[in-house]
Structures are given as C-alpha cells and as structure tokens.
Amino acid sequence: MTEKINKLKAEIAALTAANAAEVEALRIKYLSKKGEVTALFNDFRTVPADQKRAMGQALNELKNFATERINQLKDEVETTDSVDPTLDLTRTAAPMPLGSRHPLSVVREEIASIFSRLGFTIAEGPEIEDDWHVFSSLNFAEDHPARDMQDTFFIQRSPDVLLRTHTSSVQTRIMEHTQPPIRIICPGRVYRNEAISARAHCFFHQVEALYVDKNVSFADLKQTLLYFARQMFGPETKIRLRPSYFPFTEPSAEMDISCNLCGGKGCSFCKHTGWVEILGCGMVDPNVLDACGIDSKTYSGFALGMGVERITNLKYQVKDLRMFSENDQRFLEEFQSAH
C-alpha cells in the first residue's frame, strides 16, 4: 500500500494540462468515485489493524495533495485561456483608428530628402528673431516696406525683436559662424501680419536653400532647380525663370513649373498659361556675404526659397490654406496613404 501511495503521488506531481478539458479529465481519473485515489481508500479495508492509523494518514495526505495539484492546474489553464499573450494590456479599451501624418510634414520631408541627395544638410534657427538676422544682414534698406508693422509681427512694440518673416535668418546665422563651403536647407515656420483667407495666412512654412562656395554660378542654381522640380513633380516637368527682385539676391528670379495638372496645355488651375509659380531664387548678393563675414571676392553662392503650403497645394490640390491649420480630422484622414 505504501508503495502504491508513493508511486501515485509522484505521478500526480508530474501532471500537466493544456486546457480546462484536460484538467477535468485528470480530476475524473484521480478523484472521482472510480478514480485511482478513491480506489486506494477502498483497499484500506485490507490493511492490518496496526497499520491503519499510519496508512489512513498517508491516504488523506495523498487525497489533499491530488486536490491541490488539480486546482493548481485549473488556475494555470484559466489564466492562459483568458489572456491572449499577443494582447497589449496597456491599450485603451476604445477603438484606436489609424492616424496619418500631416500633409505639410509629408511634403516638407520629401523636399528635405530631395535636397539631401544633392548634399544639403538641415539647419534650424529661432522663430523669435532680431532685426539684424531678419532684415539688416540680408541687405534690406532701412525704409524697406517689409519692416512696416503691416507685414511684420514685432514683440512688445520693440523695433528690434520680431517673429521671423522668412527662414533666411537661419542662413545668416550659419554664414556668421561657418566658412564655405556651405550647403544647407532651412525648413521652418514663419509669420507675417496678413489677413487670413483661403489664399493667405498669418503663419506658414518655408524651406530655403543656400549654397556658398568658390565659383558657384547661376548655371549651378538652374540645374539644382531642374533636378528638384523633376524629383518632386515628375520627370517630364519643365521649368522657366523670370527676372524678379529680392534684396538679398542679385540677379533674382521667380521659377515656374509646367502645370502638373494639364501638362502645360493650359487649364483653370494654371489660369490657362500652362505655368505655375513655385519659388523665388537668385545669386546671393555680395553685400550679404560681406555682412556675414564671408569674402565676396573669393566666394559666391545661390539661394532659393519656397512655401511648403504652395508645394502641397500643387501636389494635392488643396484650395484653402486654412485647412492646413484647422486640425479637421476629416481633412487629415484624406492623407492616410500619402506616406
């Protein structure tokens, strides 16, 4: 009897179960009325009288051990069955819809990626700036209209502290502390005191590029612009440059691309001209180089700047600039596949 009890105890100790059905089968096998533990109790009648006390105690211990083991297996499979190991218990119980990146972020990073393939790196600067970096170092005359309160947000009525009106201020900061070669792009938010409408906003986003080195020519600028236009809008895109004026570049130009909707044939989007303006550019004025501590007799450079909203409009035909800043989820959901 003692040998049977020890053998059965070792067998019960080694039991395993994968689910509740297997646990129930083990309970029936060992603890039911016809189970193996119960059968030993039936054999207890044949035990000699002088061994009954010790043998009865051993049988009770076996029964308690078997019951505890079966209950332990039951708890283990219930825990396994109730919790999916792939389930993230930190997630909210509410459904979590798929998010999307903002279209301006998508386009800004695409612009940065194109210029990075040409060796340009990203440079950033403060949005609250001073007059020197925004205007004076960039060859703006003292009476230039851009200094007027109608265009510029000044801080605390100070004539020297303002919200930057373009990211060209980052270019001057880099040129002040870096000797050529310089090849950077400057993405960022800018501010202008304009009435908010479908075509204009008091804040928007720009990406400007600057390349300064020895023997940089207008031909280098044109090839850079052509490469960018074809990478952004397609290999069949054409460009044209029109003479323009900016205080910090000379000569200066506006760049148009062939309309990506009609292929240059003429439509309502391009006002039936076949061309759409996308950016301004030019050769860096020698006065700007000298003001930033770069010898204009040794070095030359080009600069260009574009509005991210403008490029986004051309790619996705968003007609109202206000949509970019209103956080309308219905609008943002349209760009879930844009990245």
For the chain, which ranges sit under pLDDT 50?
A: none
For 329, counting Cβ atoms within 10 Å of its Cβ (0-12 exposed, 13-18 middle, 19+ buried), the class is exposed
* Highest CATH level, class, for 103-335: alpha beta
- Where residue 16 falls (left for φ over 0; alpha for ψ -120 to 50; beta otherwise) is beta
Whether residue 181 is preceded by a cis peptide bond, meaning omega within 30 degrees of 0, is: yes
Do residues 285 and 247 make contact, with C-beta atoms less than 8 angstroms apart? yes
Q: What is the pLDDT of residue 313?
A: 84
**Residue among 88, 70, 95, 61 at smallest CA distance from 20:** 70
Domain segments of the chain: what residues?
2-82, 103-335
Phi, psi of 196 (to 5 degrees): -80, 130
Instruction: Give the tens place of pLDDT for each residue, 266-281.
Output: 777 778 888 989 999 9
Tell me which amino acid residue 113 is: S
Sorted by sequence, the CB contacts under 8 Å of residue 34 that are 6+ apart come out as: none
Q: What is the pLDDT of residue 81?
A: 56
**300-307 and 182-191 strand pairing:** unpaired
Q: What is the pLDDT of residue 245?
A: 92
Instruction: Give the tens place of pLDDT for each residue, 31-75.
Output: 887 788 777 777 767 777 777 777 778 778 878 888 888 888 888
3-state helix, strand, coil in the chain (%, to 5): 45, 20, 40
